[in-house]
Amino acid sequence: MIQDNSRILVPFDSTELSIKALDRACEVAINTNSGLILLYVVDTTCLCPGGMREHIRDMNEFETARNHFVDELKSAAEQMIQEKWKELNRKGIKVTSLVKTGDPADEILNVARNEMVHAIIMGSSGSLKRLHERKGIGSISRWISEIANCPVILMR
């Protein structure tokens, strides 16, 4: 399925399942001389649900606070991804790191398309898994597996 010299996208958020996915992607990358694209997406979709906008008293103040919050998350994500990048480089794995903001599913699909990846290896669910103790597939993972134009491997 994954051939030599492929590009493998790994959405990574440091959760248990994304760590498992990264470990698996590293094995595949070493065995196939492939490169990894490590991606973190700052999810901005939940910062102001649609119906809430009309109830916010000061939109300018809200937007300033929202932008500060997103900037802080992006900065932290860049540091986390950079640390992983260094670790993978020490292991001899070719890796590119990206931090995006927006809807996680959309950003994962955009990066997969724009970077012409050959496969996506990701966790089967994100951080909500711990809250619900469920073992199903999360909505983002399901969407990616149904829409992506390349093979998707989900780790459980």
Residue 141 phi, psi (nearest 5): -60, -45
- Would you state the CATH architecture of domain 7-155? 3-Layer(aba) Sandwich (3.40)
For residue 135, give the 3-state DSSP assignment.
coil
Is pLDDT at 22 greater than 50 in this prediction?
yes
* pLDDT on residue 125: 76
Is pLDDT at 95 greater than 60 in this prediction?
yes
* pLDDT on residue 129: 45
101 neighbors 42 (Cβ within 8 angstroms)? yes
| pTM for this prediction | 0.90
* pLDDT on residue 117: 98
Show the tokens assigned to 89. 């480089």
36-89 tens-digit pLDDT = 999 999 999 888 777 888 899 999 999 999 999 999 999 999 999 999 999 999
Q: What is the dihedral of CA 93, 36, 11, 28, to 10 degrees?
A: -80
Residue 150 phi, psi (nearest 5): -140, 170
DSSP 8-state symbol, 2: P
101-149 tens-digit pLDDT = 999 999 999 999 999 999 999 999 765 444 445 555 678 999 999 999 9
Other CB atoms closer than 10 Å to residue 77's CB: what's the count? 22
Q: Which is higher by pLDDT, 46 or 30? A: 30
Q: Which amino acid does the sequence have at 100?
A: K
DSSP 8-state symbol, 15: S
Domain boundaries, the chain: 7-155
